[in-house]
Amino acid sequence: MPSLPFSEWDGKVSEIKKKIQSVIPGGAWNPLYDTSHLPPEHSDVVIVGGGVLGLSVAYWLKRLEKQRGAIKVLVVERDHTYSQASTVLSVGGIRQQFSLPENIQLSLFSVEFLRNINEYLAVVDDPPLDLQFNPSGYLFLASEKGAATMENNVKVQSLIKEEHVPPGQQGLPKAMLALCPSMGFDSGAVGLENEGWFDPWSLLQGLRRKVQSMGVLFCQGEVTRFVSSSDRMETPSGEEVILKKIHEVHVKVDHSQEYQPVECAIVVNTAGAWSGQIAELAGIGKGPPGTLQGTKLPVEPRKRYVYLWHCPQGPGLEAPLLADPSGAYFRRDGLGNNYLGGCSPTAEEEPDPGNLEVDHDFFQDKVWPLLAQRVPAFETLKVKSAWAGYYDYNTFDQNGVVGPHPLVVNMYFATGFSGHGLQQAPAVGRAVAEMVLEGHFQTIDLSPFLFSRFYLGEKAQEHCII
């Protein structure tokens, strides 16, 4: 085959490039390495974890910034499918029935956010967001032993002055019994206003769409290291402590053996079940036992199962989400007599969090008998599917950790909610943004949820945990 002159060969190459460009979308021909998947070299705030809590923090940082575009925010999420995120596990419950005033206030704002979702998350030229919010209520049942605790909880709820959201009503009103004649009751409390459930995935996608429109950047990758500087100081009691400030976050992007350094001023740890590991990377807890420097973030992954079953004779359309004192719970799913539910395991029954395999025997042996005891019709239920996911479980007091670390001064937390983080995410994101931008909580005082309580041994004990 005769060779082409150089002039003709140049023409052929040009033709080939044009053909490639015609079938592959993109800009001008550029043979350089594509860096579009890499994080920026600098970001004012790096949020580690792109679930609902992380996205909520990003949203409120941008919404509350003094000048449009003043704050550059990067969200780092290692799994863009969210296959292991707590959001996937959640049945999407929203309630104000808590024992701590702070939790009640968080959920009061969150339900207002959810009810008016398009006032907050609407994006120009995009269709309105539908969270499929279903205000069918929350019914907490109590054993004889737990009746006094529930009565106290209702009193606390009554003290939270919100005229548009009445507290849980104790004693199971006749109307509730009429709605659920097939259920067996002892005593309990029911919230019929602004309590129920919504679609978690829709909220996550709505937040992600909105923050992208606000200029928040995303990177799929894993945080592997923090680079920080240290200063020694002496406390009023004479104890010497080391203050740290993170200057750089190393992000290992997918399909690469290298990391990308990102200079930053603030890091927000919203890594959910893995936030304890992120805290360790920052040196948190790596000090002498019994000291503030040696106090770990007590958040770890706990595996939970959700089961979907069908029961033609099950509770009707007006049935609330029911939570039994045994730890079992369920709610309707759609209109076809399908139900979602599960049960919190005892300490001895805690499953191995090393995988996401579903234990079907757990439903047969533990969950089903409890459900059938409350709802006899469930004796004939048929399980259709099941999945497993992770709680960001706070082993100290099963409550959230919100705000800055006292020693790693520019790392902030929004984690450890042990199952109620999704429903409180709108309010928690606002609280963290307030702390970052103003230096203190403004709308809801979440001081009891600060990290320092772990060192001081001051539990923010919540009695209404499912």
DSSP 221-246: EEEEEEEEEEEEEE-TTS-EEEEEEE
Condensed to tens digits (0 to 9), the pLDDT of residues 417-443 reads: 999 999 999 999 999 999 999 999 999
Q: Which amino acid is at 292?
A: L
Residue 93 and residue 423: Cα distance in Å, rounded?
Answer: 7
Residues 6+ apart with CB under 8 A from 56: 207, 414, 425, 426, 428, 429, 430
Condensed to tens digits (0 to 9), the pLDDT of residues 98-140 reads: 989 999 999 999 999 999 999 999 999 999 999 999 999 998 8
Condensed to tens digits (0 to 9), the pLDDT of residues 63-75 reads: 999 999 999 999 9
Examine the pLDDT at 86 and tell me if it is beyond 60.
yes
In 3D space, the residue among 463, 453, 350, 337 whose CA is nearest the CA of residue 402 turns out to be: 453
Residue 227 and residue 263: Cα distance in Å, rounded?
Answer: 9
Residue 128 has a pLDDT of: 97
DSSP 50-103: -SHHHHHHHHHHHHH-SSTT-S-EEEEES-TT-TTSHHHH---EE----SSHHH
Residue 352 has a pLDDT of: 94
* Percent of the chain topping pLDDT 90: 69
Superfamily name and number for 135-192+304-392: D-Amino Acid Oxidase, subunit A, domain 2 (3.30.9.10)
Residue 365 and residue 371: Cα distance in Å, rounded?
Answer: 11
* Choice between 275 and 186, residue whose per-residue pLDDT is larger: 275
Residue 258 and residue 35: Cα distance in Å, rounded?
Answer: 13
Residue 163 has a pLDDT of: 39
Mean pLDDT of the chain: 87
Phi, psi of 272 (to 5 degrees): 60, -130
Q: Are 460 and 453 in contact (CB under 8 A)?
A: yes
Examine the pLDDT at 295 and tell me if it is beyond 80.
yes
Strand boundaries in 274-356, DSSP class E? 299-310, 321-323, 328-332, 338-343
| pLDDT bracket for residue 451 (50, 70, 90) | very high
Examine the pLDDT at 230 and tell me if it is beyond 50.
yes
Residues 6+ apart with CB under 8 A from 225: 249, 250, 259, 281
Residue 415 has a pLDDT of: 98
454, two tokens: 């772990």
Query: How many CA atoms are closer than 13 Å to the CA of 308, on its beta-carbon side?
Result: 12
CA 273 to chain centre: 9
Identify the weakest region by mean pLDDT among 148-152, 266-270, 394-398: 148-152
Residue 165 has a pLDDT of: 40
Residue 29 has a pLDDT of: 46
Residue 270 and residue 403: Cα distance in Å, rounded?
Answer: 11
Residue 40 and residue 264: Cα distance in Å, rounded?
Answer: 10
Residue 238 has a pLDDT of: 81
Specify the DSSP class assigned to residue 28: S
Mean pLDDT (whole number) for 376-385:
96
Residue 35 has a pLDDT of: 62
pTM attached to this predicted model: 0.87
| pLDDT bracket for residue 176 (50, 70, 90) | low
Residue 341 and residue 328: Cα distance in Å, rounded?
Answer: 7
Residue 465 has a pLDDT of: 74
